[in-house]
Amino acid sequence: MAIHPTAIVDPGAEIDGSVEIGPYAVIGPHVRIGAGTTVGPHAVIEGHTTIGRDNRIFQFASLGGIPQDKKYAGEPCELVIGDRNTIREFTTFNIGSPGGGGVTRVGNDNWLMAYVHLAHDCIVGNNTIFANNSQLAGHVEVGDWVILGGFTVVHQFVRIGAHAMTAMCSLLFADQPPFVMSQGQPAQARSMNFEGLRRRGFSPARIAAVKAMHKALYRDGLTFDEAKGRIGTLAQATPDAAGDVQLMLDFLGRVSPQRGIVR
């Protein structure tokens, strides 16, 4: 273990012997950090925070602080971070709250740039990219492979489906389905993330099915239920895309009528 002599590490913290902790970092008593993780200078990790393997946490990050929620009364809620994440300068990740399940969770292989904020009870999947100043309010869910443009702001309880993407300065008040690209204030659906899907190895048949889903949701004047019905038929027409179709149907099945989806 390489801990700089100016760092303050509580004796109760569970730190793997291979962890590196930089100057003036502060590690609280309920923190656990896995093998190969590095913690930069002046970072603060507190609360009931569990961090996995091979993460790189940069200087001035603040992880595990109490939620910015007036109802919070000191309950032992958690922040759980997976493996191989890059967490850049001045990021702020809060622990969960009793009203939201008690856990804020970040998956694996995420790239979280400077000034990103994850409020209480957010759930972030794997392989995401959050550009500088992306801000999530409480209870937001973000699927795998999502890309948030710089200064994206997401309202509380909004969900963003896998492979979705936002443009810079987007403001999300509604759920954004999988594969959708959005832009604007409030955000509107502009297209699907076709280039991202190609880079991830989606076949032409799967991309064609995503295009058909886009038409059903946004181009052909269908009601929400009609669009779901048409999307459901695509799995038979394109068996290779059955998983993509089910991903979309599962997401649409949880959309709140009050919130709706980006249009």
pLDDT of 89 > 80? The answer is: yes
pLDDT band at 66 (very low <50, low <70, confident <90, very high): very high
- pLDDT-derived band of residue 124, with 50, 70 and 90 as boundaries? very high
Distance of CA 107 to the CA centre of its chain: 8
Q: If you write DSSP's letter for every residue of 35-57 in order, what string do you get?
A: TT-EE-TT-EE-SEEEE-SS-EE
Residue 258 has what pLDDT? 87
Check whether 1 has a pLDDT greater than 80.
no
Catalytic residue among 42, 120, 139, 214, which? 120
pLDDT digits (tens, 9 = 90+) for 24-53: 999 999 999 999 999 999 999 999 999 999
Dihedral of CA 52/36/6/11: which sign? positive
138 is catalytic: yes
Read off the pLDDT of residues 214-244 as tens digits, 9 standing for 90 and up.
Answer: 999 999 999 999 999 999 999 999 999 999 9
**Exactly one of 34, 138, 143, 161 is catalytic; which is it?**
138
